[in-house]
Amino acid sequence: MEYASDPVCISDLERVAKGIMPSGAWAYYDSGANDEQTKHENTLAFNNYRLHPRMLRDVSTISTETTILGQRARTPLGVAPCAMHKLAHPEGELATSRAAAATGGIMILSTYSTTALEKVIQPGGPQYWMQLYVYQQRSVSERLVRRAESAGFKAIVLTIDAPVLGRRLVDARNRFAPPPHLRLENFLQTEVASMPGYEGGEDAHGETFGETFGANGDQSLSWENGIPWLRSITSLPIIAKGVMTAEDTRLAIQHGCAGVIVSNHGGRQLDGTLATIDALPQVVEAAGDKLEVYFDGGVRRGSDVFKALALGARAVFVARPVLWGLAYKGEKGAKLALDILQSELELTMMLSGTRRIEEIDQSYVYQPVARWVRYAAGTNKPVAKL
């Protein structure tokens, strides 16, 4: 459908991006694991939290400024790490980075970026954090960490929910692999560049992205052998991405993590987990004041950002909406995605009588009684809420 204006909300942007992107690339961005229950639930579960607004407060001046890891940020809204932004637009991660710099939130760069990490940081931009996967050849991960530290990244985000890639059925059907014109630039000139799949393109072995990932990832990674190793090679704060339980939050504290990201990888890894917004309260409670808690998964509205902040998140990250924006119009489109969410957050703040991020606490949401979504047999379409 053609619109007279730019998309005005994230679901408009999603529709437009779907019409533009090649179907295999769209499917890779869109897909969740297996029945995609968790992917859908991430978005739907926000509906179970209702707002508890306050009126007649002076909202003539509001600010979304906050501090994250002790540094000021203009907004708690940031960009989650996503592989291969050039699948959406030729300017890829550079376009996203410029958009993030203009918005002033944190950008987390994926290990699997299609732009070398040294080229991504924009002067005057937000804090940049580097996402890390750990390989059986630890020297490869170590090189990435050292390069990120010298390039100016301010934290290492260790993704802990992907010892292997989740089973995304549509990618399995497509036998999805990075297209020939793209390069996973962080791996060029490393030992990994010679491994199948890492040069991008149709590798000689015909392996899918998931197979390559599984063959190289370190499945023996644990709290005990991973975090101390990471601490021994970098002085940057370590953030564990993919924490869904109070138990793992306590382990992250014990091992000296500076933060955790409540995330189920956008429903792309283990299908059947809680929605991230439902998991957030237990993590926040276990974290106390020992580490910062961040959030991602299913955020499609500024009011979703508001709800996550109210339930204790210090920063809120989005992935697919930014990719849809990129597909729509490169840097302008990624900025549009962030601007839509940012202005909806500001609107929610004004309409609920909150002027500063610190004011947004649990008193602004009603916590739901457990309401699980039922799915029509054999589909991922929710039919009713109990």
Ligand X SMILES: CCCCC(=O)C(=O)O
Ligand Y SMILES: Cc1cc2nc3c(=O)[nH]c(=O)nc-3n(C[C@H](O)[C@H](O)[C@H](O)COP(=O)(O)O)c2cc1C
Binding flag, residue 265, ligand X (CB under 6 A): yes
Stretch (H or E) spanning 31: none
**Smallest distance, ligand Y to C-beta of residue 238, A:** 14
Burial (Cβ within 10 Å: 0-12, 13-18, ≥19) of residue 20: middle
CA 202 and chain centroid, separation? 27
The residue (of 131 and 273) whose beta carbon lies closer to ligand Y is: 131
- Which residue from 112, 128, 153, 306 is in contact with ligand Y, where contact means CB under 6 A? 112
The 10 Å Cβ neighbour count of residue 228 is 11
The residue (of 29 and 49) whose beta carbon lies closer to ligand X is: 29
Whether residue 214 contacts residue 163, with contact meaning beta carbons closer than 8 Å, is answered with no
Binding flag, residue 320, ligand Y (CB under 6 A): yes
Binding flag, residue 268, ligand X (CB under 6 A): yes
Please name the amino acid found at residue 330: G
Scan residues 217-256 and list those touching ligand X (CB under 6 A). none
Out of ligand Y, ligand X, none, what residue 80 binds, judged by CB under 5 to 8 A for its kind, is ligand Y
The residue (of 160 and 286) whose beta carbon lies closer to ligand Y is: 160
Whether residue 127 contacts residue 68, with contact meaning beta carbons closer than 8 Å, is answered with yes
Decide if 89 is catalytic.
no
Residue 262's beta-bridge partner residues? 243, 295
- Which residue from 94, 132, 165, 177 is in contact with ligand X, where contact means CB under 6 A? 165
Stretch (H or E) spanning 38: helix 37-44
In the bound state, the residue with its beta carbon closest to ligand Y is: 266
Give the CA diameter of the chain.
66
Task: Determine the size of the site formed for ligand X (CB under 6 A).
Answer: 8
Binding flag, residue 88, ligand Y (CB under 6 A): no
Distance CA 32, CA 43 (A): 12
Task: Determine the size of the site formed for ligand Y (CB under 6 A).
Answer: 24
Sign of CA dihedral 27, 32, 37, 40: negative
The residue (of 157 and 365) whose beta carbon lies closer to ligand X is: 157
Binding site for ligand X (CB under 6 A): 83, 112, 162, 165, 209, 213, 265, 268
Where does this chain bind ligand Y (CB under 6 A)?
A: 28-29, 42, 80-83, 110-112, 131, 159, 241, 263, 265-266, 268, 296-299, 318-320
